Structure 1
Amino acid sequence: MDLDKLNVRDFLDAAAARNPDRPFLIWHDEEQTYTEFAAEVDRAAVVWHEMGVRKGDRVAFMAGNSPGFLHAWLGLAKLGAILVAINTGFKLDEARYLVEHSEAVAVLVDPEHAGFFRTIRRSAPSLRTLCSFGDSDAGFTDFTRAMAQADPASVPAVDLEGDDVISLIYTSGTTGRPKGVMQTHRNYVLTGQAYPHWMGMNKGDRVYACLPLFHINSQAYSTMGAIGAEGALVLAPRFSASRFWPEVRRHRVNVFNYIGAMAVILSKSEPSSHDRDHDVRTAYGVPALPYEVREQVEERFGLSAISGFGMSETTYGLLEPGDAPRRPGTMGIPRHHPDPSVPRTEARIVDKNGNEVGPGQVGELVLKNAAMMLGYFRDPERTAEALRDGWLHTGDSAWRDEDGWFYFVDRVKDIIRRRGENVSSLEVEQTLNAHPGVRASAVIGVPSDLLDEDICAIVIPQPGHAPTAEELIAWCTERLARFKVPRYIEFVTEIPMTSTAKIEKHRLRSGDYARGERIDIGEAATRLSAPVTATSGSSRSTEEA
């Protein structure tokens, strides 16, 4: 296998040539065969080229899951252009930063986001083309209509290499500024080839994708995995607990990916005599489910739930092998490509000096494999920090046992994992500190019933000010995506600091400080109509879907 030549264009075209009449994309009750899907991708590539998009150009999408998203993105990939997918929950300034930092030349949006980009265009000199799915206000090209008029036979020939970037995945960082992970064609193809092997898939199997296409999970695992299995991608607009199993049954789904909250929500649904009436064999997700929850899910739904470790920076990493005895709490062992000619994944636990430590000792998890990012876009300093001597430093602390199985301990960096999203505590702190009534703040993650975390903001008011919890939540809601808005506000007179004026986050997490009253805004923080209650500790909640 020539790793230097792997690219998504050839990967898709080869699968389409072998399976012209097999369904590839299923959306609601509509199906597109591989031939039909490939033709739509070619039309999209022609439209982008006619708009002046060329190899290496960045194009920002702010759109929900839809067939059009896939057509437009893979059309870009055929030209060697780069997707910059923006979280649809982002607010104006969050979206603006990604467009300006990536120097996007074009955008493609759902009509409801058009207003953002008319504003952004004024401060983004690189942005020259505005497109939308369907009708929007003046100044936007209707991309769907343009595709209908394009000739799929006129796709320009472009030389593509394995190291060409296919997607910039922006991920939260401890500095508060998102980092643009440069993921390559080679990495996505290697992931698509290996995903069916990891999931125990057969040729023609169907993958259910309800996670957003602006995440690497749906891009690399679900979409590329469906191509690798020469099967079908069953695409849903979003996760819905009420629609999940009916859609999975109707479309004869065989595998799906989940985040921890999804599995818990499904496990708490009302039991039904149809719980095992489906074709799903395997589900993959993170974080690892508690052993009792996993046993309950597997027994109730008759499937195998496996977990592992991956990042936007690498689609490989760790995985529980499906044919080995279960080990509670593990992230698994290094996951490999089924072709032995592809370099194997290596994983180590190292101390702060980069020296490997022995079994049972806690340190930082570092990885080396054939599917790692090129680096962070326009950020050599943080690239050098993450990639050292060929090893990716994950920023997560872990340990391994005598048999080489790995176990997660904590995050080295101050990232909060909430509802499947990474939230920079510093970004939330900076937003709170900009409020005129806030002197200082510290943001931490606190336990949630949904296996990840809720956000707690510990706030020192400005002298002479008395901001309310509702006021601060409203302030954050206007400036941050919903998943970044704190659930809890705690007012204090001081925050524990180190001698070098850094917040002692470990003391805040342990409760070893002069606690104030913790106010629970509730899960529906952005609506402010939810009841506000005071608690003595970190309350828990369940999320409706």
Structure 2
Amino acid sequence: MDLAALTVGRFLAEAVEEVPDDPLLIWQDTHISYREFDEHSNRAANVWHDLGVRRGDHVAFMVDNKPEFLYAWFGLAKLGATLVAINTGFKEQETRYILEHSQAKYALVDDVYADVVAPSIDTLPGLNAVYCMQAGGMFPHFGELVARADTAAPAADVHPDDVVSFIYTSGTTGNPKAVMQSQKNFVLTGQAYPHWMRMAKGDRIYACLPLFHINSQAYSMMGAIGARGAIVLAPKFSASTFWDDIRRHKVAVFNFIGAMTLILSKKEPADDDLDNDVKVAYGVPALPGELREALERRYGMKVISGFGMSETTFGLLEPFDERRRAGAMGFPRHHPDPSVPRTEAAVVDEDGNHLGDNQIGELVLRGPAHMLGYFNDPDKTAEVLRDGWLYTGDMVRRDTDGQYYFVDRKKDIVRRRGENVSSLEVENVINEHPAVLECAVIGVPSELTDEELMVFIVPRDGAELDFADIGDWAADRLARFKVPRYYRQIDALPKTSTQKIAKHQLRASVDDPSKGYDRDLAASAR
């Protein structure tokens, strides 16, 4: 394969030539063909070009999931410019940081976010102008410019290593970092994703995760093009409409993250649960064996997990065959073309020394589709990218067959009574309690040494939480040092925009853990 020829514009053009009239994008009940999508993105490219956007420039979007987001982004890609997609949950200060840090030349916003962006305009001399997706808003209407633009793409010199997207990571300390993903990486991902998911030509992918997330950009959008299929775009994840959308649009694959599958699994069973065309649901984290098997039986699909991150779209993938094991993230995932370098994985200690089987250490990866680095942050880049290896920050172990198992994020390992405790392992056990919808475990200061475990629990609808019973449930299934001491009920866990639990917010909310249920204190009072 000629890696020097891999650009997003060429990737789309090849698909347009092959299946011009097939749907590429489905939005509600509107089908947009490959040819129509290409023309829309060409119009957007001409608008950006007329505004002075050139190769290497950065343009910020603060836009909800909608077709116009994709048209405008692909227009940038055809110029070799970079999308800076801002989390739509950000407030004024967070948004200003992204606009300033990214050195955005222009911004495109939904009118609902205009008030968030507006205060930054006068403080950022490098920001030439802001445009709005809706007519009659605070800023000029981008759609008016697009409607007048030519449907033929402007000439541009685009390279495979041009940055196609800044993916801002969710920082738990300090400001978020901008992961620089190249055009080549996204094309390689689009070519490989249908192979990983065993998609057939023309299969449809359901995308309900936000378009500012790498999952929707690289797996869903690029994967749809690679399969010569369609992306079924939803405004956001909704448990009440999820399966209706899946059925109506005959979806074959969907991606999940965070608590999505747990929420879906706890919906009341329905007679039409098996009435769907889904072949594969892919996501992280790896589900407990019983939960995965229950989902597969209930919905008639295969649930596959793996490992990927903003810094790499390759990583690990579970096998589809009998080697699949509960809790495993699988083996290194490769591109289907053997001429593309293979993905390597290893487990290392604090000094970067490779560890053996069943030893716990940090997962490191080496392969064809890693980030170029963090924008304007050479120190962090050098910390994460070392000698061609990507240091993931995730603690794992590898079994004797070469499969990898997630233990915890390095920062989410709790040191308790001289033992390292995986918060994920404890959460999986407590989530199985019939009164629990979902939970999150964190470490809190101990009056002795190390930390104590504290769990925040969201009850199922209509359930009353009996913390003593839940503690006993955990004690029956976990070693004593893994059973949480402190318990607290919460209406909803704080989540990032990609449905990951925002544990740093939980930690910040705890001033005195003993204000909730204290299992040790309750035991001493018996």
**1:35 partner SS:** helix
Q: Distance in 2 between matches of 1:294 and 1:255?
A: 16
Deviation at 1:190, TM superposition (A): 0.3
Indicate which of 292, 314, 323 corresponds to 2:321.
Answer: 323
Aligned to 1:267: 265
**1:242 partner SS:** coil
Indicate which of 396, 399, 411 corresponds to 2:397.
Answer: 399
5 Å-filtered alignment, 1:419-498, equals 447=427, 449=431, 454=440, 495=445
Deviation at 1:363, TM superposition (A): 0.8
Contact 1:260 1:289 survives alignment (8 Å): no
Contact 1:96 1:120 survives alignment (8 Å): yes
1:278 partner letter:
N
Aligned to 1:280: 278
Aligned to 1:303: 301
Sort the Cα spacing of 1:132 and 1:497 in 2 relative to 1 into closer, same or farther, 3 A.
farther
Q: Distance in 2 between matches of 1:47 and 1:497?
A: 62
Contact 2:42 2:154 survives alignment (8 Å): no
Indicate which of 154, 167, 170 corresponds to 1:169.
Answer: 167
Aligned to 1:47: 47
5 Å-filtered alignment, 1:137-152, equals 137-138=137-138, 140-152=139-151
5 Å-filtered alignment, 1:105-504, equals 105-138=105-138, 140-153=139-152, 155-173=153-171, 175-413=173-411, 447=427, 449=431, 454=440, 495=445
Deviation at 1:156, TM superposition (A): 1.9
Indicate which of 523, 527, 530 corresponds to 2:492.
Answer: 523
**1:208 partner SS:** strand
Q: Distance in 2 between matches of 1:510 and 1:95?
A: 32
Q: Give the CA RMSD over aligned residues.
A: 2.6
**2:56 partner SS:** coil
Aligned to 1:488: none
Give deviations 1:485-539, integer Å, cap 9, x for gaps: xxxxxxxxxx5699xxxxx8x6144799xx998764521879xxxxxx963169x
Please identify, of 198-207 and 114-123, the stretch whose mean Cα deviation from structure 2 is larger: 114-123
Q: Distance in 1 between matches of 2:240 and 2:485?
A: 39
**2:10 partner SS:** helix
Sort the Cα spacing of 1:452 and 1:354 in 2 relative to 1 into closer, same or farther, 3 A.
farther
Q: Distance in 1 between matches of 2:92 and 2:443?
A: 23
**2:394 partner SS:** strand
Q: Distance in 2 between matches of 1:307 and 1:57?
A: 36
Q: Distance in 2 between matches of 1:226 and 1:220?
A: 9
2:216 partner letter:
S
Q: Distance in 1 between matches of 2:235 and 2:190?
A: 22
Give deviations 1:7-66, integer Å, cap 9, x for gaps: 101001110111111111100000111111110000011111111111111111111100
Please identify, of 205-214 and 156-165, the stretch whose mean Cα deviation from structure 2 is larger: 156-165
Q: Distance in 2 between matches of 1:521 and 1:397?
A: 28
Contact 1:173 1:415 survives alignment (8 Å): no
Q: Distance in 2 between matches of 1:268 and 1:166?
A: 38
Give deviations 1:471-494, integer Å, cap 9, x for gaps: xxxxxxxxxxxxxxxxxxxxxxxx
Q: Distance in 1 between matches of 2:413 and 2:29?
A: 39
Aligned to 1:490: none
Q: What percentage of aligned pairs have identical amino acids?
A: 57
2:22 partner letter:
R
Q: Distance in 2 between matches of 1:200 and 1:413?
A: 34
Deviation at 1:123, TM superposition (A): 1.7
**1:408 partner SS:** strand
Aligned to 2:5: 5
1:63 partner letter:
V
**1:79 partner SS:** coil
Q: Distance in 1 between matches of 2:518 and 2:37?
A: 52
Contact 1:58 1:81 survives alignment (8 Å): yes
Q: Distance in 1 between matches of 2:72 and 2:212?
A: 13
Deviation at 1:173, TM superposition (A): 3.5
Contact 1:172 1:415 survives alignment (8 Å): no
Sort the Cα spacing of 1:456 and 1:322 in 2 relative to 1 into closer, same or farther, 3 A.
closer
Contact 2:344 2:367 survives alignment (8 Å): yes
Contact 2:84 2:165 survives alignment (8 Å): yes
Q: Distance in 1 between matches of 2:401 and 2:485?
A: 45
Sort the Cα spacing of 1:180 and 1:242 in 2 relative to 1 into closer, same or farther, 3 A.
same
2:492 partner letter:
E
Contact 1:51 1:129 survives alignment (8 Å): no
TM-score (norm 2): 0.82
Deviation at 1:453, TM superposition (A): 6.0
Sort the Cα spacing of 1:534 and 1:518 in 2 relative to 1 into closer, same or farther, 3 A.
farther
Specify every segment of 5 or more residues in structure 1 that has no aligned partner in the other structure, as ranges: 417-443, 459-494, 499-503, 527-532, 539-545
1:507 partner letter:
E
Specify every segment of 5 or more residues in structure 2 that has no aligned partner in the other structure, as ranges: 415-422, 456-480, 496-513, 520-526
- Tell me, yes or no, if structure 1 residue 93 matches structure 2 residue 104: no
Q: Distance in 2 between matches of 1:330 and 1:259?
A: 16
Deviation at 1:186, TM superposition (A): 0.5
Aligned to 1:481: none
TM-score (norm 1): 0.80
1:54 partner letter:
R
Deviation at 1:451, TM superposition (A): 9.4
Aligned to 2:517: 536
Give deviations 1:250-298, integer Å, cap 9, x for gaps: 1111111011411111111121121111111011010011110000000
Q: Distance in 2 between matches of 1:43 and 1:148?
A: 8
Sort the Cα spacing of 1:172 and 1:414 in 2 relative to 1 into closer, same or farther, 3 A.
farther
**1:80 partner SS:** coil
- Tell me, yes or no, if structure 1 residue 14 matches structure 2 residue 14: yes
Q: How many residues align?
A: 459
